[in-house]
Chains A and B, each alone.
Chain A
Amino acid sequence: MALLEIRNVTRRFGDFAAVDDVSLAIEAGEFFTLLGPSGCGKTTLLRMIAGFDLPDGGAIVLDGKDLAGDPPERRPVRTVFQSYALFPHMTVAGNVAFPLKMAKVGGAETDRQVWAALEGVQLAGKADRYPHELSGGQKQRVAIARALVTKPRVLLLDEPLAALDAKLREQLQLELINLQKDVGITFVYVTHDQTEALALSHRIAVMNHGRVEQLDEPSRIYGFPRTRFVADFIGHCNLFDGVVAASAPSGGGSLVDLDVAGLGRIRTLTQASVPAGSKGSVAVRPEKVRISSSVTQGADDNHCAGHIRDFLYMGDVTMYVVEATGGQRVEALLANSEAGRTKFFEAGDAVEAAWRFDAGHFIPG
Chain B
Amino acid sequence: MRWKPRGGSMPGTSSPAEGAGVSASGARHPSWQARDRGTGRWLVSGPPLAYLLVFFAIPALIMVVASFTPPGEYGGLAPLFEDGKANLTLEAYERLAGDPIYWEVFAKSVVYAGITTLCCLVLAYPLAMLVARSPRKYRDLLMLLVILPFWSNFLIRVYAWMIILGPQSALSRAVNAVVEPLGFEPVSLLFSSFAVLVGLVYVHLPFMVLPLYANLEKHDPALLDAAQDLGANAWQRFWRVTFPLSLPGVWAGAALVFIPALGIFAIPDILGGTEDTLIGNLIKQQFLETRDWPFGSVLSIVLTAIALALAGLAAWVSRPRRTA
Contacts and interface: CB of A to CB of B under 8 A. Distances in A.
Interface residues of A, number: 51
Contacts of A174: 7
A109 interface: no
Nearest to B25: A43
Interface in A289-314: 314
A254 B24 CA distance: 45
Interface stretch (B10-18, B120-128, B225-233, B314-322): B10-18
B25 A222 contact: no
Interface in B1-44: 1-3, 5-8, 10-18, 20-26, 30-32, 35
Nearest to B12: A287
Contacts of A180: 5
Interface string A140-179: 0000000000000000001100110000000001100100
Contacts of B17: 37, 192-194, 233
A218 interface: yes
Contact of A194 (B1, B16, B23, B25): B16
Contacts of B23: 43, 82, 158-159, 162
Interface stretch (A124-132, A197-205, A262-270): A197-205
A159 B22 contact: yes
A203 B13 contact: no
A176 to B, nearest CB: 9
A336 B21 CA distance: 33
A5 B104 CA distance: 75
A256 to B, nearest CB: 24
Contacts of B12: 235-236, 285-287, 317, 333
Interface residues of B, number: 27
Given A38-B21, A43-B24, A47-B25, A54 B10 contact: no
A52 interface: yes
A200 B10 CA distance: 12
A291 to B, nearest CB: 15
A192 B18 CA distance: 8
Contacts of A319: 13
B72 to A, nearest CB: 56
Nearest to B33: A52
Nearest to B10: A195
A217 interface: yes
Nearest to A162: B22
A235 B14 contact: yes
Which of B16, B23, B24 has the most CB atoms of chain A within a 10 A radius of its CB? B23
A53 B31 contact: yes
Contacts of A38: 20-21
B113 to A, nearest CB: 44
Interface of A: 30-31, 37-39, 43, 47, 51-54, 72, 81-83, 158-159, 162-163, 173-174, 177, 180-181, 192-196, 198-203, 217-219, 222, 233-236, 285-287, 314, 316-317, 319, 333
Interface of B: 1-3, 5-8, 10-18, 20-26, 30-32, 35
Given A202-B1, A316-B13, 12 more contacts: A37-B17, A43-B24, A43-B25, A47-B32, A159-B23, A180-B5, A194-B16, A218-B6, A233-B17, A234-B14, A236-B15, A333-B12
- A-B pairs with lowest CB-CB distance, top 3: A235-B14, A38-B20, A38-B21
24 contacts: A43-B25, A47-B32, A51-B32, A52-B25, A54-B31, A54-B32, A82-B26, A162-B22, A177-B5, A192-B21, A194-B14, A194-B16, A195-B16, A196-B16, A199-B8, A202-B3, A217-B1, A222-B11, A233-B17, A235-B14, A236-B14, A285-B12, A316-B13, A333-B13
